[in-house]
């Protein structure tokens, strides 16, 4: 590779030497742009910002001796800067909004999307909204949902709303109801599960929760919505306390684990549900009643996704 030549607008041109012939352009750019994440490399190639012999190329293009690589001036993402949000993900999050005003956003979060980045996840809901709502400087999650749980999730746009909702959550002002498809015949008389929960971190770093007398008090109220013979039951779950994985662990403790739960579920039951097309955790934050600062109550419901609806239809067949 010869020394780069620069133009007045900051574009650099590199000529490929015979020693580098055969190397893929994406691998070359990763060496040239040290520290740049793969997603950044593929994005600038896809958008045609980097060109070879004045033409667009794909990431697997292999360099040839004498090729001229055009590299425009660019700002690399900072080390802790989140990955850029794709248009598809931005559109998905915009479409998920079920309520928005000057102080609050509520979305129907799709299953499989984390609420925040970390643990191998570069982008979560909050990072996406901070990028697609750049004018909202104080966006914060009001509460959390597990990555594989779908449904209603609140994002405060102002710190005053965040404080108001946290106070309401600490009391009994917020009413959250979930739907869950559980194994077997849930008795109508089993209206609540009260069992203390304790968090444990495994060597792998995975967080697990178990019923333990030394844990924190936890109470979940349950109501039968529909039965599918003795095979499965659709229940409503209201977590009176807000412990990590509370509904999932209480359902398992009751002997009726949730379909598709990789941590606390029954694999044989989950496999039968998957065979019906149900490839997801069947836990959904379905309704939310929230007191607003002006004294009004915000009442919201969120529909389930097509996978959930189609699976229950097949159970009915």
What pLDDT does residue 80 have? 56
Out of 130, 160, 190, a domain closes at 160
- Binned at pLDDT 50, 70 and 90, residue 290 comes out as very high
In a domain, 241, yes or no: yes
Sign of the alpha-carbon torsion through 155, 159, 161, 164: positive
User: What are the structure tokens assigned to 45, written together?
Assistant: 């190639």
- Binned at pLDDT 50, 70 and 90, residue 91 comes out as very high
Out of 160, 182, 201, a domain closes at 160
In a domain, 80, yes or no: no
Are residues 91 and 25 located together in one domain of the fold? Answer: no
Are residues 251 and 180 located together in one domain of the fold? Answer: yes
In a domain, 166, yes or no: no
In a domain, 293, yes or no: yes
Are residues 154 and 289 located together in one domain of the fold? Answer: no
Mean pLDDT, residues 215-237 taken together: 97
Mean pLDDT, residues 174-180 taken together: 97
**CB-count exposure of residue 58 (10 Å: 0-12, 13-18, 19+):** exposed
Are residues 274 and 210 located together in one domain of the fold? Answer: yes
Are residues 291 and 204 located together in one domain of the fold? Answer: yes
In a domain, 281, yes or no: yes
Are residues 19 and 145 located together in one domain of the fold? Answer: no
- Binned at pLDDT 50, 70 and 90, residue 8 comes out as very low
In a domain, 220, yes or no: yes
Decide which of 39 and 301 is more confident. 301
Q: Phi and psi at residue 303, in whole multiples of 5°?
A: -70, 155
Report the CATH number that the domain containing residue 57 is assigned in CATH.
3.10.290.10
What pLDDT does residue 315 have? 95
User: What are the structure tokens assigned to 95, written together?
Assistant: 């479409």
What pLDDT does residue 136 have? 87
What pLDDT does residue 75 have? 67
Residue positions annotated with a catalytic role: 146
**Domains in the chain, number:** 3
Out of 137, 160, 183, a domain closes at 160
Contacts (Cβ under 8 Å, ≥6 apart) of 13: 4, 5, 6, 7, 68, 69, 70, 71
- Considering the chain, what percentage of its residues have pLDDT values greater than 70? 91
Q: What is the DSSP string of the chain?
A: -PPPEE-TTS-EEEEPPGGGTT-BHHHHHHHHSTT--HHHHHHHHHTT-SEETTB---TTPBP-TT-EEEE---PPPPTTPPPPPPHHHHHHHHHHEEEE-SSEEEEEEPTT--SS-BTTBS--HHHHHHHH-TT-TT-EESS---TT-EEEEEEESSHHHHHHHHHHHHTT--EEEEEEEEES---TT--EEE--EEEEE-TTS-EEEEE-TTSB--EEEEEEEEEETTTEEEEEEEESS--TTHHHHHHHHTT-PBTT-TTTS-HHHHHHHHHTT--S--EEEEEEEEE-TTS-EEEEE----HHHHHHHHHHH-
Report the CATH number that the domain containing residue 118 is assigned in CATH.
3.30.2350.10
Q: Pick the range with the lowest mean pLDDT from 163-177, 192-206, 289-303.
A: 192-206
Residue 172, pLDDT above cutoff 90: no
Mean pLDDT, residues 8-29 taken together: 84
Sign of the alpha-carbon torsion through 273, 275, 280, 284: negative
Residue 4, pLDDT above cutoff 60: no
Are residues 100 and 180 located together in one domain of the fold? Answer: no
Decide which of 75 and 70 is more confident. 70
Domain that holds residue 46: 10-69
Decide the pairing of beta strands 219-228 and 68-71: unpaired
14 and 71 Cβ atoms separated by less than 8 Å: yes
Are residues 151 and 187 located together in one domain of the fold? Answer: no
Are residues 38 and 135 located together in one domain of the fold? Answer: no
In a domain, 5, yes or no: no
In a domain, 300, yes or no: yes
What pLDDT does residue 200 have? 86
Are residues 289 and 231 located together in one domain of the fold? Answer: yes
Distance CA 155, CA 106 (A): 6
Are residues 92 and 181 located together in one domain of the fold? Answer: no
Are residues 207 and 264 located together in one domain of the fold? Answer: yes
């Amino acid at each position: 590779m010869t020394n780069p030549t620069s133009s007045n607008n900051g574009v650099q041109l590199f000529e490929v030497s015979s020693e580098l012939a055969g190397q893929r352009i994406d691998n070359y750019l990763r060496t040239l742009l040290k520290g740049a994440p793969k997603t950044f490399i593929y994005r600038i190639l896809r958008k045609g910002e980097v060109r070879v012999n004045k033409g667009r190329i794909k990431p697997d293009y292999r360099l040839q001796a004498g090729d001229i690589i055009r590299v425009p001036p660019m700002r690399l993402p900072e080390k802790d800067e989140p990955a850029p949000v794709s248009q598809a993900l931005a559109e998905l999050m915009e479409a998920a909004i079920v309520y928005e005003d000057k102080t609050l956003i509520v979305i129907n979060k799709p299953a499989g999307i984390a609420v925040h980045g970390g643990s191998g996840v570069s982008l979560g809901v909050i990072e996406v909204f901070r990028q697609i709502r750049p004018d909202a400087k104080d966006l914060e999650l009001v509460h959390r949902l597990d990555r594989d749980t779908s449904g209603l999730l609140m994002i405060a746009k102002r710190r005053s709303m965040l404080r108001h909702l946290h106070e309401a959550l600490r009391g009994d002002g917020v009413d959250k109801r979930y739907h869950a498809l559980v194994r077997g015949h849930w008795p109508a008389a089993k209206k609540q599960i009260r069992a203390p929960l304790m968090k444990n971190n495994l060597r792998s770093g995975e967080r697990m929760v178990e019923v333990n007398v030394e844990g924190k008090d936890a109470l979940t109220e349950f109501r039968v919505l529909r039965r599918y013979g003795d095979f499965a039951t659709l229940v409503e779950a209201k977590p009176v306390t807000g412990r990590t994985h509370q509904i999932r662990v209480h359902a398992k403790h009751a002997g009726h684990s949730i379909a598709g739960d990789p941590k606390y579920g029954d694999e044989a039951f989950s496999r039968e549900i998957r065979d019906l097309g149900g490839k997801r955790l069947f836990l959904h934050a379905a309704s939310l009643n929230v007191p607003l600062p002006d004294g009004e109550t915000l009442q919201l419901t969120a529909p389930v996704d097509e996978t959930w609806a189609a699976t229950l239809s097949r159970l009915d067949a």
